[in-house]
Structures are given as C-alpha cells and as structure tokens.
Structure 1
C-alpha cells in the first residue's frame, strides 16, 4: 500500500505543465473556499462576542429595591450613526457599574466612547452641541459592541425615577448589570443591540457561499478529468487493482486540496488580525472577535479535503470499471430522461404549495421546492444538453463548427454541463436573493425610513417648560402640549383633552367655518371608528365625581398626525373647569419638516435636559433592517458570483488545454483555427445557454408560487425580478468570453501535441 501512496504523491507534484496547472487551480480553489467558509463562520463568533458584551452592560431593573441608582437609555442619531445616551442619577459609593466604565460621571460630566470622543475632539457640532458636559472618562472596549459605537453616560442631579410618568422598567432602581436583551427584526427595535438576527443572517450568508463553493471545489477536483481517467484506466490495464488505483487518485487529490486548505487557513488567520477598522455596510467589529474555534477549523479543513477526495474518487468509477472504453475514448451512455424527474418534482412541489393547504405543509413544500430545484439543476443539464445537441444537428446545412460541437456534446454529454454548472446555480441563487430582497422591501417591519422631505411627528417626554420654550425657537417646527384626563360617561371610563386652542389647532384641522376660543369647553367629533359624538343628555364626571359643564358647541376635527388620538371633550386651559381636573398624562408633540430640523431639536434636548426623551421617526438605522440585509445579500452574492466565475474560468482553461491533442488532429487534416475555436465556444456555449434558461425559468416558477402563497401581486414580483433576465444575459456574455479567449489562444497547435498523452 505504501508504494501506491508514494505514486499518488508523485503524481500530485510532477505531471508536466498541465498537471502543474491543475494543481495550482485546485489548490487555489481549496484555499479560497477555506478562507470564505472560515470568514462566514467567524461572523457567528463576532455576533456572539458582541452579544455577550451587550448583555453584560444591560442594567438589571428591580421594581422594589434598596438601590438608589437609576438609568435612562435614550436613543439618538448623528448623521446615519446611532447614538445612545444614558442618563445616570442616584450614584452612591457602592453603586454597580457596567463593564468598561471606571467611575460614574457626576452632574455636568460625561463618560463617552472613543468614537464619540473623536467627534468631540474634531469639533463636530452635531456632537459638541449635544454634550456640553465635561468628558471625565472613556468607555473601554469591554463596554462597547463595536469600535465605532457612539455611546455616552451623562450624569444628572436627579434623584429617583428618571421618568415623570414611570410606568415601565426604566423607572425602577438598577441593582446590577447582565440582563437579557430585547430583540426585534427590523428598523424599530426595543433596543438597538439586536444580535439574534445576525446569527440567522450568518447562516443564510454561509449558504449563499457554501453552495457555489461546493460547485467550485467539485469543478477543481475534476480538472483534467479526461487525462486523469485515462491514467487511472492505464493503471488498471497494467494490473493495478481498483482499490490501489483509488488510493493513488485519493492521495493525489488530497495532497493538492490539503496544501490549498492550509494556505487558505493561514490567509484567514493573518487577515483576521488586520481586520479592525474594516466594515461591511455599517457593521464594524473588533479584530479580537474574529475567531473560529480550533476544533471547527480542523473540521472545515478536513471536510474540504474530504469533499475534494470524494469527488475525485466517485468520478473515476467508469475508469475503474471500464478501463478499455476509457482508453479508447468510447462514447458515454445517453443520459436518462429520469434526470429531469427531481427538477419536475421540485417545481411541482412549488406549485402544490399554492393550493389551499395547512400553513405548515405549504411552508414545508415550498422549502423543499427551493432546495430541490437548486440541487437538481446541475443534475438535469446533461439530459437537456444531449437533447439540444440532437435538435441542433437536424438543422439543414449547419456549419462545420456547429456539427463539431454538437458531435462532441453527444459523445461526452457530461463534460460540458460540468463546465457550466457553477454559473447556472449562481443565476438561480441570485434570482432567489432578489426575490427575498423584494419581499423584505415590501415588509412594513423592514421598510426603509421615509425620505427627508416628509414631516415627522416626535414625542417629547420628561421635558420641562424651559426645554419646550427652547424648542419653540426653531423655525418651521411646531411644538404643542396636550393633557389627557380620565373621566366617566354614564359610568363608563373615557378620556378628554386639555389644551390651549393654539396647540389644539396644531394637532387637528378644524372644519371650515369653525374656531376654538380659549375658556370654553367643546364637544369633539373626530371621526374615529367606534367612537361617537357625546350626546347632549350624557353627563361627564371627573375622577372625583364632579360633573363637567355643558359644551359650548361641537368641533369637527381630523388629526394632522396619525399618531395622535382624541377624546370626547376639549377643555381649554383657561376654562374654569380645567383647574379642578386631575391630569393623567401630558404629551408634548414636536413636528419637524425634515431630518435636519429633527437633528437641531435633538441637540437642544440633549444639551438642555439630559433626562428628556425625544422619540419618533429619527431616521435611526438599527437592527437588521432592509438597508443592512441588502448589504449582506450583495456581499454574499458578490462572493457567490466570484466563486462561480472562478469555477467556470478554471474549467474553461482546463478544458481547452485538455482538448489540444484532439484539436491537433483536426489541424493536421486541414481544419482551420477559426473553425476549431468556434467549435470549442459552441461546445460550452450551448449548454451554458440552456442551463441559464432553465435556471431563469425555475426562478420565475418559484417566484410565482411564492407570490400566490403570500397573496402578493405576481406582476409586481416579476417586475422586481426583471434584473434576473439582465443578469442571465450578462452571465451568458461573460461565459462566452471566458470560453473564447483561451480557445483562441490555445489553437496554435503543432503535430507535437499528437504524441502527448
């Protein structure tokens, strides 16, 4: 057995220029694959490390505790970068601190992250106007999710709950740190530290890479397939057993793939240490987080080598069983029509999912259809290519180069499909990615923020009169306050509004000819479904049982902003009845015309009152919203496309080099270089065209089925997937170019190639 291992090592290191080319291509494929797979797995490690630090700094709130420490997290934004400001009150000597904070700031002081400190040092007004406090400390990396994170702890002189109307956990004392995060998928999250979706994205991202990588490595493992099959067949004819020949082939493939895998591992380890400061979209990370457990590294390297060996071993079955036929280059058997059955069953499952079935059954069918279609596309290509070659050969007076290409396709129907399988699978994957992206964009929970030209209604809480007056100084900004008062109408609970007429007019549009006069009480007709107008004989009682005066009239109104609700009555603040009312909640609204005005309002709020909260649509990009998902999809698809083009290019070059002996025979009998080149292009171009067409049609069937399942307009889905057609055309042009260049360059043939094996 040892001699056969030595023979395999000898073949992997010395097989002439063609062997060296194959060794280089296969090693490069294994190196690239290991690097990409480890990088994908590292995203899970990065997400886990960031999650651990985010949870470690999350405060633990206890409703009734002796702790005097209170914290209030306030979300803000500087440009497109999220900013979190944490107001700190009730600091004592033994108060717990989060990781990364050496000491709590006092009133008028702040502890900031390095990225925020850099903005302050640069004199960026968006930062300096928000934080007039003295910076007394820096948050180290143990308290940060990523190096670019904008975060600040601001000291206040408040005591007790930091919210005037503390109805949630934020008003409770803080007894420690290390609580669980609240997760959400989308641009609206309970907290911006939503890392659970990142693991899901990492898995999807890995799938987008692993499938093309599997095709890539499979193609590289079968480079120089004809030459290697002839060599294995020669060993068999010399008396070498099938087991011994298999060992030779396995060692040869394993050594080449193993060397490439080690190179990819070294490249990953080197670049991981240099990656701090890099980013994907808005995702940043610490270099120390980019790790993969050694056991997982060994598993990846071992699986890559094992996969290459298995592909090489399984592919030489014909050479082992029929060595004479392989040495004489006998025609391959006609592909069976049964190859089309898996694809047809997969598409049938997609159509069946559109029927009125149980939801779980429909999802299961659709998932099986998506996976089955992707896996069965390469399997059906030999049968489709064989049939297409038969149809083309029936064209009367077809050119010689076309006859030559179709003859080769029918002689070896499995060769050309291996060449084009990578691009075919990539077109299908990209089509599904476009479909998923269109669904994400249509999902209201993942919709991008409105454009900066739309009016935005923000809500101010925990603000005082001084802050409200400061906000009123902004031009084109409407500020209004309204109080909600609980009442009872005929024994049923309800509520009324207390506001000045000027503020009320900013909140609601009055009907034509109507007006509000301070000092009066009005009945409201706001048109809300399920809420009628107060009848004249209905009595309204306050919480103390005091009846309210009869309304002076009825105001027919509609809200200017969708987020405001109404009440049965409007009691103006100058009305005598307003003094005896027990206010339940006072809301201050701030309507801004664009994000620039919102930023100015946020600067005023942050600098004037660190505990005030201005909430609403601030254009904060947080969580895994459409913008980030599209970024990750683009990156994944770029890698997928690079792998598929690399596989196609490697196979095209290898196929051209391998065909030189046969093409030399044609050159000797007088076939022109142009005819031979066109024959080589057609040999790969025809299967490529039919493969891309099959992938496009399969993608459209999947899209139509999903549209029917979700009751989405199929025409809209098809419109959004129209780039698939352009991408198919581009892939066809790229493929033809990759076929044409090496085919033309390699046709400078002499009779010397007739003597080469």
Structure 2
C-alpha cells in the first residue's frame, strides 16, 4: 500500500466528514468537543512545569532576607522586616520597609516605597480588605492603601501581599525576621539536595495516573457516532471500494474530527487559562501568562492526537465487516477472550516486581520500568472492563421493564457502555493506588512536634524589647482566649559571649503560675529563684547555678557582638524538678520570678506567650493575631499542631489534588458528551418506544441502569486493580501493606457521584429525544 493511496483515502474521509450533511457535522462536532477537552488538559499539563518555574523565579527575584553579617547603614541600604500573617487559612505575605538612602533597592512590583503609615497591596488583598469578609484582617493592618503591587512582584494572581512603610526598624535587626539589605533576589547557586527516590516515584506515578484518563477519553471521543458512520460506509462498498479502503476513509473522518478537536482544545485551553487567573486551587494561583506550554510538548500533542485518532479507528474496525448491504455487527458478536487481557496487568506487575524493596534513602527506581508498569496496569482496566461487562450482563435477565430494556441494550452493545466508563475506571484505579502509596509513606515524611495542643494552641514569639508580662495581660482580654502564659528566656554562659561562652544553661523568668508550666515548684512567691534539674542538661545547670557565681547573658542571640551583661547567681536558690513545657521541651534551667530579675537582664529576655483558645468562639485565632499585631507588629505567631509534614511531600500531594480536580472536571464533561452522543444514536429507538406507549419514567430508568451497571462494574474492577497497584508500590518503597478503606470508598464515591451528576444533566435532552417527532427521517 503506497503512501499516495493512504493520503488519497484519508483525504476522502476528511471531505466526507464535512460534506456528509447534518449527521456528519454533528459527529465531527461531538468528536471535536471530546478531543478538545482532552487536548486542553494535555496543554495545561505541558504548561504546568513552566508555571511552577515562573512562580519560583518570581519568588527568588523578590527574596529580601540575607543571613550573613549585618551591613552598615548606607545610601543603598534598606531595613526590611518580615510580618507575614495568616487569615482564614490563607497566607498573607507582609513586609515593613524603611529605605535608608535614595539608592535603596526597590522590589519587583513597586516603583517607589510607601510612606510611613501607608502600604501598597496586591489586587487580591485590596479586594479582600474592601469586603466584609476582610474586616478582621483590616484591623490587623492599620495602614492606608496608596498603591497596588504589579504582577512582577507576585507569584500568583490570588496572592495576598503588602509592603508597608515604617520607621525606626534598625533596632529590630536580628538577621532573620528583620535585616538590612542592599539588593533583592538570591545570588549564587543553591546547594543541590539529595534526590529522594520515594518522592521521585510519587511524582512519576502522579503524572501517569493523571494523564492516563486523558488519553482514554481522547481515544473514546474519536469513536463517537461509530455505528452510524459504519452504516454510511457500507454505501461506499456499493460504489467499488474494498474493505481496507473503507477503513482508511473512516480513519480520515476521525482525523478530521481530531484536527477540529485540536482547534477546540486550543480555544478551551486559552479560555481556561484566562479563568485560571481568577481562581485559587489548594492555595495555589497563577497569572494567565504563566501557563505557556512548552513548544516541544505542545508539538508532540499536536502530532500524537491525530495519529491516535487514525490508529484507534483502524483498531476499532478490525472486527467489523462492512459489506455493500450493511454492517455485520448487528448479529451477536464473537465472545471476548480473557487470556490476552490478563497479560496486560500481569505484564505491569512483572515490570514493577524487580524494584520491590528498593525504597529508602539509598533506593533507586528505574523511571522507565515504573512508567511502563503503571501504564500496563491501568491499560489493563480498559482491556478487562469490556470483558467483565459482557460476562455479567449476559447473565442478567429478570427484572422490571426498565431493567430489561437496559440489560438488553447492554447485551447488544456492551463495548460502547464499557468505553464510556473506561476513563473513570482508570482514574479511580490510579487514585486508589496513589492514596495507598501516600498513606503508606506519610509516616516517613511526618514528624511529631512535641507541642501539647491541650495546653496551648498558639505561640507568639515577641521581638526584642517588647514587655512580655504586660503582653500576656492583653491576650487574656482577647475575645475567645481562655488562658495566656508568658515567659521570658535567655542563655547564660560561664564566659563572655564575645570569646565563646563555655558551658551554658537557660534562664527563664515569669510569674509563679507561668513558671509552673515548666517545672514542679515546692512553693513560690514573687522574688523567689529556683534551680531546676531533671531536664536535658543537669550537669551544666548544677555547675553554673552556684550562689555568688558571675554568669554572662547572651545579649544578641549568640552573635557575640552585644554588650557583656553580667548576672550574679543569688543565694537561696530553691530546688525544683523539670516537667515538659507546652512547647514539648524538658529543660534544666534557672527560674526567676519578676522581682528576682534585674532591669538590665529583664530588657534582654526573649518573650514568648502561650495562648489557649475557647474553640467555640468563631475566628478566635484571628482575634488573637490581631492582638499580637497590636502588641508587637514584629511578633512571630505560630499555630501549634501535633505533627509536621515535609514541605516536598506536601507539595507533591497538593499537585495531585490540583490535577485530580482537573481530571474530574474532564471526566464529567467527557461523560456528558459521550452520554449525549449515545442518546442521539438511539433517538429513533426511544421515539418508537414512546409511540408504542412506553412511559417516560420507564425509559428514563432504563437509561439510568444502562449507565449504572457498567459504572458499578468499572468501579469494582478499578478498586481491585488500584489495590493491586497500591500494594506493589508499597512493597517497592518498603512500607507495610495497609489499605485506607476510607480513601478507597471516597475515590469510588467521587467517581460514582460524577456519573450521577452526568446522568442527571442528560435527562432534559433525553426527554426531548422521546418525542414522536424523532421518528421523522430525511
């Protein structure tokens, strides 16, 4: 067969697609919509790496903290302070700025710094502060809005950020939250971290699982209207075409639909890209121009989709005999074979088996074997589902009229029903496996913080010079706060900190009630001092806390450049025993009540307030943050939790959630298009049944059962394959086998919910197709 003949026949089919009257146009349109939805998601996928790269670059360009030596004040320096906060679960990036000269660097997104008391904000923050929902946040930011941060200074369209003008920031410089800088942006090459093989495995599996349903949907879309197309192709046999030429013409029709689908997909992607700029998913937002697909990957999509359309059509017609007088497919089809369908999942397991037990820090996974193994297992779902639907519906007989109509239709065309469910089955199988893998390795990326959330739910670290005892009083009067405990602390050394402190111990000051949160005291009144043992370093505190000994206070957080502040250990230290403090530490220390602390020492203590909430009060954490901002704008507010997850692990899981939402949207839209196409194919049949007196309720129920039976079988098969794949992946990373049945049920329930919504949306078109006018023909 020459290339010229292939081109001629494909071109002929291409022309038939657009010149075949209304039926041809409808089929091309349905195919284009289905393919276009898949192409749009593929383009979005190819654009995600660029979007993440741009977000990362924008974040690096505005980096404003340096942890090196303190710079002297100059014409090109700026003092900047990190005042990040959180509001209703959303991060708010805040900076207080004080330029010290006319050449002070200006961050991306700004043309000039705001004056003292003014601020420039991101568009999303301006919108929030102007709404009733942002009332509590507005009280936390007592600045006048005078400008807007442009796109260059933001990582996402929905990011909440501001720069506020301030003065006298220099005394707050500590090298971390407040610093003096002369430039923005990171310099040098960041250190390369060791690649975690388990995280790499997670990324690979996530991409395969999210993209596989898209490929299945595209393959399904190019077969829309297949039965009517094959009957039209029978006419070509009457004018002399052979069976191979007829198949190539059919492939040309599919090619036409796929090419129009590429156009639709590009349009859908451009519309979706604009829409993406106004939304936030799992805390991530982007600007539309971030979503620029890689030219190479976009070209690959443009070539792969039409090629897949031709190949899928030729493959689908391999068992169809198109004769001049009709299509030999209305007879009972040959029974599907099971043996070769089992080879696909077994082959996938065989590819993954050599990597079992290779998890851990020194493990390595072959990315090609992982990708191939997961693909074969998921493709196995699409191969096994038609056999399972056929085998089950062949044994279904008795039931109501609606049930019998549905079962008979499935017995005649089980392949079409299975194709409609293939995509959702693949998505559920992959999601179940991923949930098992995430649940299995989560413990390796989660550590306990030691924080006792029954004693406090928030910790506020005050900046230098903030009186921590009076601060606690203001927190106690805050709405929803049940208890507030304040403690001041500093390190004591046996030598001057400029020359190395030698042995060190901890000095803690607070009221008697506050000190009892860290130690078991025999008795206590203001003016008492205690030496606490039973903690992490009894030897140091026993050596240093001797009456009359002169110790040296850490005046600048270990930098050794502050004044030498000396403190003499008083006589009459009472013994006490350490207990676990609210932050999870158990420290040997010297404890002082307020009257026992000299003023020069008291001013240098690092103040911390521990707050316990009344959880029945709405927005209690926001009220507490507002108090913290009022007491100390530089305060570091920390919400406590019993565990803390790895940032990389959390990022991968967030990406999975974002991708899963997009795939679920594609599932719903594609299923709806598929359902409408199948209803259109049965228009005359439905109208005939109505003409013979069949009730609308019966026909509606029959359509529901035609969808529900394959969906139930597909979800059951997807659960089995997903559990199998999840078990193999857990063995690969060396985690014990375990099934999170709640996740399995949630995934299958989500798939079933999508199908129910699609079925409900297809009822209005179904009722219109039941009219007797559907019997009219042209």
On whether the aligned pair clears a TM of 0.5, the verdict is: yes
Please name the residue that 1:525 is paired with.
533
Specify whether residues 538 and 136 from structure 1 end up closer, same or farther in structure 2 by C-alpha distance, changes over 3 A only.
closer
Please name the residue that 2:626 is paired with.
603
Please name the residue that 1:12 is paired with.
17
2:541 equivalent to 1:515:
no
CA distance in 1, matches of 2:358, 2:57: 44
Describe the superposition over 1:476-510 as per-residue Cα deviations: whole angstroms up to 9, x where unpaired.
4332322321349xx98241324244374264252
CA distance in 2, matches of 1:728, 1:278: 24
- Of 292-301 and 6-15, deviating more is 292-301
Alignment match of 2:27 (pick from 22, 43, 47): 22
Unaligned runs of 5+ in 1: 184-198
Q: Secondary structure at the match of 2:83?
A: strand
2:488 equivalent to 1:481:
yes
How far has the Cα of 1:304 moved from its partner?
A: 2.9
Q: Secondary structure at the match of 1:697?
A: helix
2:691 equivalent to 1:691:
no
Specify whether residues 593 and 381 from structure 1 end up closer, same or farther in structure 2 by C-alpha distance, changes over 3 A only.
same
Please name the residue that 2:667 is paired with.
641
Please name the residue that 1:340 is paired with.
342
2:101 equivalent to 1:104:
no
Alignment match of 1:379 (pick from 380, 383, 387): 383
Please name the residue that 2:194 is paired with.
none
- Of 321-330 and 274-283, deviating more is 321-330
1:235-634 equivalences under 5 Å are 235=236, 239-240=240-241, 244-245=245-246, 247-270=248-271, 272-273=273-274, 276-280=277-281, 282-292=283-293, 299-318=300-319, 327=328, 333-336=334-337, 337-346=339-348, 360=363, 370-385=374-389, 387-388=391-392, 392=395, 414=415, 416-432=417-433, 435=436, 445=446, 455-465=456-466, 469-475=470-476, 476-487=483-494, 493-502=503-512, 504-505=514-515, 507-508=517-518, 510=520, 514-528=522-536, 548=569, 552-571=573-592, 574-575=595-596, 586-594=605-613, 596=619, 598-607=621-630, 609-610=632-633, 612-617=634-639, 632=658
How far has the Cα of 1:104 moved from its partner?
A: 2.8
Specify whether residues 291 and 658 from structure 1 end up closer, same or farther in structure 2 by C-alpha distance, changes over 3 A only.
farther
Specify whether residues 409 and 633 from structure 1 end up closer, same or farther in structure 2 by C-alpha distance, changes over 3 A only.
closer
CA distance in 2, matches of 1:558, 1:447: 18
How far has the Cα of 1:376 moved from its partner?
A: 0.9
CA distance in 1, matches of 2:701, 2:123: 62
2:59 equivalent to 1:54:
yes
Describe the superposition over 1:370-395 as per-residue Cα deviations: whole angstroms up to 9, x where unpaired.
443211111123444454466x28x9
CA distance in 2, matches of 1:687, 1:387: 11
* TM-score after normalising by structure 1: 0.75
Alignment match of 2:89 (pick from 68, 76, 80): 80
User: Contact 2:224 / 2:674 at 8 angstroms: preserved in 1?
Assistant: no
- Of 463-472 and 318-327, deviating more is 318-327
Specify whether residues 688 and 156 from structure 1 end up closer, same or farther in structure 2 by C-alpha distance, changes over 3 A only.
closer
How far has the Cα of 1:95 moved from its partner?
A: 1.5
Describe the superposition over 1:331-362 as per-residue Cα deviations: whole angstroms up to 9, x where unpaired.
65543312112224445777887768777368
Specify whether residues 473 and 147 from structure 1 end up closer, same or farther in structure 2 by C-alpha distance, changes over 3 A only.
same
CA distance in 2, matches of 1:604, 1:678: 60
Unaligned runs of 5+ in 2: 191-199, 477-482, 496-500, 553-565
Please name the residue that 1:718 is paired with.
741
Q: Secondary structure at the match of 1:566?
A: coil
CA distance in 2, matches of 1:409, 1:102: 67
- Of 2-11 and 360-369, deviating more is 360-369
Specify whether residues 41 and 425 from structure 1 end up closer, same or farther in structure 2 by C-alpha distance, changes over 3 A only.
same
CA distance in 1, matches of 2:92, 2:162: 8
How far has the Cα of 1:308 moved from its partner?
A: 1.9
User: Contact 1:27 / 1:260 at 8 angstroms: preserved in 2?
Assistant: yes
Please name the residue that 1:38 is paired with.
43
CA distance in 1, matches of 2:148, 2:760: 56
Describe the superposition over 1:596-616 as per-residue Cα deviations: whole angstroms up to 9, x where unpaired.
565445435545654x23231
How far has the Cα of 1:744 moved from its partner?
A: 10
Q: Secondary structure at the match of 1:616?
A: strand
User: Contact 1:76 / 1:618 at 8 angstroms: preserved in 2?
Assistant: no
CA distance in 2, matches of 1:616, 1:459: 6
Specify whether residues 531 and 235 from structure 1 end up closer, same or farther in structure 2 by C-alpha distance, changes over 3 A only.
farther
Q: CA RMSD in A?
A: 5.7
* TM-score after normalising by structure 2: 0.73
User: Contact 1:707 / 1:717 at 8 angstroms: preserved in 2?
Assistant: no
Q: Secondary structure at the match of 1:100?
A: coil
User: Contact 1:261 / 1:301 at 8 angstroms: preserved in 2?
Assistant: yes
Describe the superposition over 1:266-313 as per-residue Cα deviations: whole angstroms up to 9, x where unpaired.
344355446643443544444444544677655544433332233223
How far has the Cα of 1:26 moved from its partner?
A: 0.9
Q: Secondary structure at the match of 2:376?
A: helix
CA distance in 1, matches of 2:664, 2:551: 64
Alignment match of 2:186 (pick from 166, 179, 182): 179
User: Contact 1:703 / 1:718 at 8 angstroms: preserved in 2?
Assistant: no
- Of 103-112 and 622-631, deviating more is 622-631
User: Contact 1:98 / 1:177 at 8 angstroms: preserved in 2?
Assistant: yes
1:100-249 equivalences under 5 Å are 100-105=109-114, 107-117=116-126, 126-133=136-143, 135=145, 137-158=147-168, 160=170, 162-164=172-174, 166=175, 168=176, 173-179=180-186, 210-229=211-230, 235=236, 239-240=240-241, 244-245=245-246, 247-249=248-250
Please name the residue that 1:63 is paired with.
69
- Of 218-227 and 411-420, deviating more is 411-420
User: Contact 2:503 / 2:540 at 8 angstroms: preserved in 1?
Assistant: no
- Of 612-621 and 211-220, deviating more is 612-621
Specify whether residues 405 and 63 from structure 1 end up closer, same or farther in structure 2 by C-alpha distance, changes over 3 A only.
same
- Of 70-79 and 729-738, deviating more is 729-738
Please name the residue that 1:652 is paired with.
678
CA distance in 1, matches of 2:677, 2:167: 71
